[in-house]
Chain A
Amino acid sequence: MNRAKTKTVNRIGAALEKDGPLLSIYFTAGYPDLEDTLPVLRHLQASGVDMVEIGLPFSDPLADGPTIQQSSTAALKNGMHTALLFEQLKEVRQEIHLPLILMGYFNPVLQYGVEAFCQKCSEVGIDGLILPDLPLEIYQREYGIIMERYGLRMIFLITPQTSEQRIRKIDGASNAFIYMVSSASTTGAREGFGPEQQAYFERIASMNLNNPQIVGFGISNATTFRQATKHAKGAIIGSAFIKHLSEYGPRGIPAFVETIRS
C-alpha cells in the first residue's frame, strides 16, 4: 500500500528529492510577536532552509519540553489562534515556496472542524500536517479520507521504542516522510547524541523504509545535525531555534542557520 508512489509529488516530495541533508525548522506561530509568523518564514526562506513546520500553539502541549511550552504560552498570550494563523498565511504562497507543514495538537483542529481546517490548509498552501496526538489508527479510521481529499500529507512519528512491526505499518500509511523522534523524550535541545541514539539511527536506516526519515527532537547545533543526518534524510530543529529566536528575533535567523550548516 505504498501511496507515496502513486500520488503526485507535492512540495514536500520535491524537497525530499534534493541531494544532501535537509534542514527543517519548527517555530511557534505568533512568537515572539504576534505578527512575526511571516517575517520568520521570509528569513527562513532567505537563509536557505529546506522545509518549515509552523506550530499551532496549544494550552496543553504534553509532548513538548519547556522551550516550546513557553513559546506556546507566549503566542497564545499574544493572541494567536487558528483562524488568525490562516489569515496571516492567506497570501503566503505569493512569496514563500518552501514546503510548509502545520504542526499542532488535535484539539484545536477538532474545534475548528477537521474538514474546514483541511480546506483552509489547502487554500493557503499548506502541504502537510503533524498532529502528534492523533494516533495512526484513528487517523485511518476517521480522518485520512478528508486529509487526502485536500492533498495534505500526514506525517507520523516513530521513537526508539516503536516496534519494527509498527514502524512498517506507519511506513505503509505515510506518503511524505517519517518523523523520527531522536530519543525517548519530550521536545528540547540537547548537546549531542550518544551511542544509543546512533545505534537507533542506524537500525532505522537499515530497515530500508519506503519513506525517508527526518530526525527531530534534540537537534541543536552543527554536531547534532550532522549526527542525525548521517543516516536520515534530514533533521528538524525546534527548541534550539526558538531559543535563538527569543534572543535575537527574526533578524538573527540567517546567523543561526549558518551555524547549523557549517
Chain B
Amino acid sequence: MKSYHADKDGFYGSFGGAFIPEMLYPNVAGLKSRYLEIIESPGFQKEFRNLLRHYVGRPTPLYYAGRLSEKYGCRIYLKREDLCHTGAHKVNNTIGQILLAQKLGKKRIIAETGAGQHGVATATVCALMGLPCIVYMGEVDIARQAPNVARMKLLGAEVRAALSGSRTLKDVTNEAIRDWINNPEDTHYIIGSVVGPHPYPDMVARFQSVISEEIQAQLRELEGRDAPDYVIACVGGGSNAAGAYYHYLDREEVGIIAVEAAGRGIHSGESAATSALGRTGIIHGSKTLLMQTDDGQITEPYSISAGLDYPGIGPMHAHLYTSGRGEFHSITDEEAMEAGRELAALEGIIPAIETSHAFAVLKNRPFRPEDILVFNLSGRGDKDLQTYIDFFDL
C-alpha cells in the first residue's frame, strides 16, 4: 500500500533522510536506533499520556464552530490546541522529547526558537524535569518577542542570542546544531518542528499525532464517523499540520489542506511560501523543498508570523505537495490578519497569527454544505497581541 509516512531511513518519497556531518552521526544514529523502541514502550507511553492529560490539559476540545460554519456554509470543527498549556501544540512534542532525553541519559537540553513558542514549551518541560535549558534565538527576534524571552527566563532557561548569518530562525537552528556538535555526549537537541535529520521529522510527527488520534475519537462521538472531509492546518516547519494529518495520511478520502505564509505576496520577494517558491535541496540535514538561490544558497523568508518564517518545510509536507496528496495554499499577511479577526469576532477565539493563515482558506476555495472540516487551531493569539494592535490600529 502507498504510504505517506516515513520509511525506515526517514524518507517520505524522495524527501527526508539524514544529511548530517559525521560529527552528528553518533547522536543521530543513537536516536534513530532507539526512538521507536523507547516511544512505543508501555512505560514511556504511560508517562507521556499522563503528562499530556494532567499537565498539558489533553484531550483538547473539538469544538463545533457554529457561527463560522453558518457564514461559510459547511460544518467546521476547531481542534483547540490553543488550550494546551503554554498556548500551542508545541508542548506535545517537547513533553515527548524531554521524556526521551531522560531515557537516553541526557543531562542538558538545547532548542531553537523563532517567535519563542517552541522555546517556551522547551523551557517549560526543562523546568518540569529539572534539566538545564539553552534556547537559541535570533538577535532580532529577542527584541521583537520580549514577553516570550521573559517567560523563558522565568522558567529558568538561558536565552542565547545567535549572532551568525542573518540571525533568524534558520540561523538559530544552525547555532543549535553547532552546539550539539560541540556537546556530543550529554546534550539532547529538542527540535521544534517536523524538520531536521531523520529521525526528527518522524519522531516529532509521532508526538504530535495525538492531535489526530483525538480528532478521530471526538468526531466519532460528535458526527458518528471518525474522519472529516478535510483537515486543515498552517505549515511553518509543519508539526501541527503533521499531527493533525497523521492518522489520515493514508486515508485518501480525507482531504489534506496545508496553508503556507505568502507574506507580502508569493512573488513579492518577501514570502515564506516554500511549496510555491522552493526547490529540492538540503536544509538542516533534511532533503526537502526549500527557498534558495540558483546557486543553492538558502534565502531568507518573510512572514508577519514568526512561526511560519522558515525557508523549508518538513519532508512529509514536501512529499504531500509533490505527490498531490495535499492541497497547498499560500495566504498573505493581510488575508491572515483578517481571518484572525473574523475568528475572534465570530467565535470569541483569538488565534495565533500562524493559525490565522489556515482560516483564510475559507475565502480561497468553496466547500459543500455537507463537508466536515477540521481546522487545527494550533495556538492562541496572546503572544501576537502587539502585532494585532499595530496591524488594526486597535
Residues of A within 8 A of B (CB): 58-66, 69, 73, 76, 81-83, 105-112, 132-135, 138, 156-159, 161-163, 166, 181, 184-186
Contacts and interface: CB of A to CB of B under 8 A. Distances in A.
A181 B296 CA distance: 26
A181 B21 CA distance: 11
A138 B296 contact: no
A161 B297 contact: no
Nearest to A108: B296
Contacts of B174: 60-62
The CB with the most chain A CB atoms within 10 A, among B21, B170, B182, is that of B21
Interface string B280-297: 111111000000101111
Interface stretch (B22-30, B121-129, B231-239): B22-30
B40 to A, nearest CB: 25
B21 A60 contact: no
A132 B24 CA distance: 11
Task: Tell me the interface secondary structure of chain A in the complex.
Answer: loop
A64 B283 CA distance: 15
Contacts of A162: 22, 25-26
29 contacts: A59-B299, A60-B170, A60-B171, A60-B284, A60-B298, A62-B174, A62-B178, A62-B181, A63-B21, A64-B178, A82-B295, A107-B282, A107-B296, A110-B281, A110-B296, A111-B279, A111-B281, A111-B295, A133-B21, A135-B18, A135-B19, A138-B17, A159-B22, A161-B26, A161-B184, A162-B26, A163-B26, A185-B23, A186-B182
Given A60-B170, A135-B18, A138-B17, 16 more contacts: A59-B298, A60-B165, A60-B283, A61-B174, A62-B181, A105-B282, A107-B283, A110-B296, A111-B279, A112-B295, A135-B20, A135-B22, A135-B25, A157-B22, A159-B22, A186-B182
Given A59-B297, A112-B296, A185 B182 contact: yes
Given A166-B25, A186-B178, A134 B19 contact: yes
A81 B21 CA distance: 22
Contacts of B19: 106, 133-135, 138
Q: Which 8 A-B pairs have the closest CB atoms?
A: A111-B296, A108-B296, A157-B22, A132-B21, A59-B297, A81-B295, A161-B26, A63-B21
Contacts of A163: 26
Contact of B292 (A62, A63, A111): A111
Contacts of A83: 295
Interface of B: 17-23, 25-26, 163-165, 170-171, 174, 177-178, 181-185, 279-285, 292, 294-299
A171 to B, nearest CB: 13
A133 B20 contact: yes
Contacts of A82: 295-296
A65 B178 CA distance: 8
Contacts of A132: 21-22
Contacts of A156: 22
Contacts, number: 112
Given A59-B298, A111-B294, A161-B26, A133 B282 contact: yes
Contacts of B294: 111
Given A162-B22, A184-B183, A109 B177 contact: no
A27 to B, nearest CB: 19
Contacts of B183: 184
A181 B26 CA distance: 14
Given A132-B22, A135-B25, A59 B165 contact: yes
A19 B281 CA distance: 42
A184 B182 contact: yes
Contacts of A66: 163-164
B292 A107 contact: yes
Given A60-B283, A185-B182, A108 B297 contact: yes
Nearest to A112: B296
A21 B348 CA distance: 73
A253 to B, nearest CB: 27
Contacts of B25: 135, 159, 161-162, 166
B381 to A, nearest CB: 31
A143 to B, nearest CB: 12
Contacts of A134: 19
Contacts of A185: 23, 181-182
A108 B290 CA distance: 13
A107 B19 CA distance: 10
Contact of A63 (B23, B164, B282, B296): B23
